[in-house]
Amino acid sequence: MQNWVVPIVVLAVLIVNVPAMMQQWHDDRAGVIKTLWLAGIYVLYTLLGIWLVLGVMAPVGAEGIKVLFAIGLLLGWIFYGLLTLTRTVPRYRELPRWLTHFGVADIVLLTVIFGCAAAYLWA
């Protein structure tokens, strides 16, 4: 039963959000289409990051502390893509300025990405 918990929760969340998605489709069709395109690009971006860690870095011989650096790089990569996605999708509420403009969040995530990549190479 435990193997089915995550798919059931994901399906339940999708079903609960269908009425809101349909309303949004009727109110702002162009925004919904742009959001779907950007979400697809984000999925490809995330898959590229996973390929980078599993396909390029792992066969080189990631073991011990190098695994933590590879995971840090991947998480930084995914969250930086999410931050960029948040800035580009159409939104209907104003977000905080620190989230919508280049600043501390970008610097922290880019430092994690490049720091983990450098540490991986030097370790």
Residue among 78, 57, 71 at smallest CA distance from 116: 71
Instruction: Return the domain boundaries, the chain.
Output: 2-122
Work out the burial of residue 70: count CB atoms within 10 Å of its CB; fewer than 13 is exposed, 13-18 middle, 19 or more buried.
Answer: buried
Q: For residue range 6-50, list pLDDT tens digits in order.
A: 999 999 999 999 998 899 999 999 999 999 999 999 999 999 999
Is 59:88 a contact under the CB 8 Å cutoff? Answer: no
* pTM for the model: 0.81
Q: What is the model's pLDDT at position 60?
A: 65
